[in-house]
Structure 1
Amino acid sequence: MARIRTIKPEFFTSLTVADLTPEQRLTFIGLWTHADDAGRCVDDPRLIKAAIWPLDDRTAADIEIDLKALTESSLITRYIVNRKRYLAVTNWDEHQRINRPTPTKLPAPEEGERPDPEPPTSNDVDSMSPHTQLHESSRQERKGKEGNREGKGSYASVVDEAEAVVLDVDCVESAEADQQQPITAQTIVAEYLEHVAKRPPKSVIGQVAKHAKQMLEESIDPDDIRRGLALWMSKGLHPNTIPSVVNEAMNARPAAASNVFALASGQPLPGPDTTLAGWAAVAASFDSSEDSA
Structure 2
Amino acid sequence: MARIRSVKPETWVSETLAEVSIPAMVTFLGMTNHADDHGRHRDNAAIVYGLVWPMREEITRVDVEDHLKQLAAAGAVCRYTGCDGRKYFHYPTWRNHQKIDKPSLSRLPACPHCEPERCGVCKGPCIQRATLTEAPTPVPEAAPTAPQVFDEPSANTPTHLDHPSAPVAKPSPQSGTGSGTATAPTVGEKCVAVPADGRSAGQTAFAEASPKARRSVQEPSTPGSRILDPGSSFPTGRQAPEPEAVSAGQLVGEYVAACERRPPGSVLGHLGRTVKGLLAEGIDAEHVRAGLRRFAEIQGHPSRLPSLVNDAMNARTAGLARPGLRPNLPVHRAWTNPVDAANAYAEEL
- With structure 2 as the length reference, what TM-score do the two structures score? 0.39
- With structure 1 as the length reference, what TM-score do the two structures score? 0.46
